[in-house]
C-alpha cells in the first residue's frame, strides 16, 4: 500500500523504467564460475571500512584532539561513556583486521592473475587503498596520545626524516614542528578523520566501478576470457550476496569477540621526556622497521620505499598472458618469497623486542 503510493509518487517525477533496467542488470549480472569464498575479501574490506567509519563517528563524539585532553577523552570513552569501550575496541581491532583482509584481497588478486590486462588500473587503485589503509593505521595510532603512540610516531617520523634530500622537510611537515607535539596530533587527526576517509571513499568508488564495468576476471589467459552469458555462471544476487552476508556476520562476530576477549590497553599518557623500553611500531610496520634496522639507514629506506613502487608497476612488468597460478612459476615464486620475507622479517622485528633489555 505505502510502497505502491511511494512508487507512484516517484514514477510521476522520474523515469523509473530507465533507472530500473541498468540496476536490474547489475543485480542479476552473472559472475564467472571460478568466483569462490576467496572472492569475498574485497567486500570484507569494504565492510570493515564501513565499520571503521561508523565506530569512528561514535568515537569522535567524545574524543578531543589536544595533548591535554586526548588521553583523558579516550579514557572517558573506555570507562564512562555507555558501551564506549566496545566501540573503541571494535575500532582498534577493525583497523588491525582491515590491514590483514586488504592484504589477503591483494594476495588473492595476485594468485589468480586478475591484475592482468585489462584490469591493471583496478590493481593500481587497489594498491593505493592498501597504502592508505596503512596510513590510516599510522595516523590513528597516535590519537590516544599514550606512551606507545607517542614514541612509535616519533620513531616512524624519524625514519621519514632520514630520506636523503627531502627527509628533514617531510619530517617537519608531518610533525608540524621539530618534535611530536600537539601540532602533530592536530595534523594526524585531520588526516585521519577527514582527508583519508574521503580519499578512500572515492578510490573505492573508482575501484568498484571498474570491477563492475569490466567484470570479475576468470582464470583464462589474457584475451581469451569468456564472459558468462545470462543464465550461466553464478548470479550476483542472491548467490554471491548470500556468501558476502555470511562472511559479514563472521567478521562482526570476530570483531566483538576480539574486542571482549583481547582488548587493547590504553597504557600511560604520553611523556615527551621518557621513552619507554622496547618501543616498536605496529605489527604491520615491523617488516619495514626490521629492514631499516638491518641495513644502513639509507639502503634500508631505499628498499622500503621501492616496495610500494613495485606493487604499483607490477601489472606492467608481468605481462605474460597466463592467469592460472600453476602456469606462472616465476610470478608465483616471487610472490611466495615476498610473503615469506614479510613473515620472517616481521617475526624477527617482533622477537627483537625481548632482546632489548639493558645489558648492564
What residues line the site for another protein (CB under 8 A)? Answer: 151, 154-155, 157-159, 161, 172-173, 175-179, 183, 272-279, 293, 355-360
Q: How many CB atoms lie within 10 A of CB 251?
A: 18
Task: Give the C-alpha separation, 14 to 340, whole Å.
Answer: 55
Distances (CA, A) of 65 to 62, 181, 282: 10, 11, 21
The smaller minimum CB distance to another protein, of residues 117 and 293, is found at 293
* CB nearer another protein, residue 2 or residue 358: 358
Which three cell numbers, joined as nine digits, stand for 208? Answer: 568498484
Taking the C-alpha atoms of residue 52 and residue 78, their distance in angstroms, rounded to an integer, is 17
Q: What are phi and psi of 15, to 5 degrees?
A: -85, 85
Q: Name the residue nearer to another protein (CB basis): 3 or 355.
A: 355
* Nearest distance, CB of residue 253 and another protein, angstroms: 38
Q: For residue 72, give Cα distances in angstroms to 63, 75, 149, 180, 187.
A: 9, 5, 14, 18, 19
Nearer to another protein, 142 or 204 (CB): 142
Question: Closest CB to another protein among 120 and 183?
Answer: 183
Minimum gap (Å) between residue 188 Cβ and another protein: 13
The closest alpha carbon to 306, from 150, 163, 178, belongs to 163
Min dist. Cβ of residue 299 to another protein (A): 15
Identify which of residues 109 and 139 has a Cβ nearer to another protein in the complex: 139
Query: In whole angstroms, how close is the CB of 166 to another protein at the nearest point?
Result: 13
Neighbouring residues of 180: CB distance < 8 A, sequence distance ≥ 6: 142, 150, 153, 154, 157, 272
Give me the least distance between CB of 99 and another protein, in Å please: 22
The rounded distance, in Å, linking the Cα atoms of 38 and 34 is 10
Q: How far is Cα 65 from Cα 69, in angstroms, rounded to an integer?
A: 7
Cβ proximity to another protein: between 5 and 354 the closer is 354
- Least gap, CB of 290 to another protein (angstroms): 12
Number of H helices, E strands in the chain: 14, 2
Q: Provide, rounded to whole angstroms, the least separation between the CB of residue 279 and another protein.
A: 5
Amino acid at each position: 500500500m505505502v510502497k505502491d503510493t511511494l512508487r507512484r509518487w516517484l514514477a510521476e517525477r522520474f523515469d523509473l523504467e530507465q533507472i530500473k533496467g541498468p540496476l536490474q542488470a547489475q543485480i542479476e549480472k552473472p559472475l564467472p564460475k571460478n568466483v569462490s569464498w576467496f572472492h569475498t575479501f574485497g567486500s570484507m574490506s569494504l565492510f570493515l571500512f564501513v565499520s571503521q567509519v561508523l565506530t569512528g563517528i561514535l568515537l569522535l563524539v567524545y574524543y578531543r584532539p589536544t595533548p591535554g585532553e586526548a588521553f583523558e577523552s579516550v579514557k572517558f570513552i573506555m570507562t564512562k561513556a555507555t558501551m564506549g569501550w566496545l566501540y573503541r575496541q571494535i575500532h582498534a581491532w577493525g583497523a588491525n583486521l582491515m590491514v590483514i583482509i586488504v592484504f589477503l584481497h591483494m594476495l588473492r588478486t595476485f594468485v589468480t592473475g586478475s591484475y592482468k590486462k585489462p584490469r591493471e588500473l583496478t590493481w593500481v587503485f587497489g594498491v593505493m587503498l592498501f597504502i592508505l589503509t596503512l596510513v590510516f593505521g599510522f595516523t590513528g595510532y597516535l590519537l590516544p596520545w599514550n606512551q606507545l603512540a607517542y614514541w612509535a610516531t616519533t620513531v616512524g617520523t624519524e625514519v621519514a626524516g632520514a630520506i636523503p634530500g627531502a627527509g628533514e622537510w617531510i619530517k617537519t611537515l608531518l610533525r608540524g614542528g621539530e618534535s611530536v607535539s600537539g601540532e602533530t596530533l592536530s595534523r594526524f587527526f585531520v588526516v585521519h578523520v577527514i582527508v583519508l576517509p574521503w580519499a578512500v571513499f572515492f578510490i573505492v568508488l573508482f575501484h568498484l566501478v571498474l570491477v563492475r564495468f569490466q567484470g570479475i576476471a576468470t582464470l583464462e589467459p589474457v584475451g581469451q576470457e569468456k564472459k558468462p552469458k545470462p543464465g550461466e555462471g553464478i548470479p550476483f544476487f542472491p548467490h554471491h550476496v548470500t556468501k558476502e552476508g555470511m562472511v559479514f556476520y563472521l567478521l562482526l562476530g570476530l570483531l566483538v569477540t576480539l574486542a571482549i576477549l583481547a582488548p587493547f590497553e590504553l597504557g600511560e599518557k604520553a611523556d615527551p621526556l621518557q621513552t619507554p623500553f622496547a618501543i616498536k611500531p605496529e605489527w604491520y610496520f615491523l617488516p619495514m622497521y626490521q629492514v631499516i634496522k638491518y641495513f644502513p639507514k639509507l639502503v634500508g629506506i631505499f628498499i622500503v620505499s621501492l616496495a610500494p613502487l613495485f606493487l604499483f608497476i607490477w601489472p606492467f612488468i608481468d605481462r605474460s598472458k597466463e592467469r592460472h597460478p600453476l602456469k606462472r612459476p616465476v610470478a608465483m615464486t616471487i610472490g611466495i618469497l615476498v610473503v615469506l620475507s614479510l613473515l620472517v622479517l616481521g617475526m624477527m622485528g617482533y622477537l627483537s623486542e625481548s632482546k632489548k633489555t639493558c645489558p648492564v
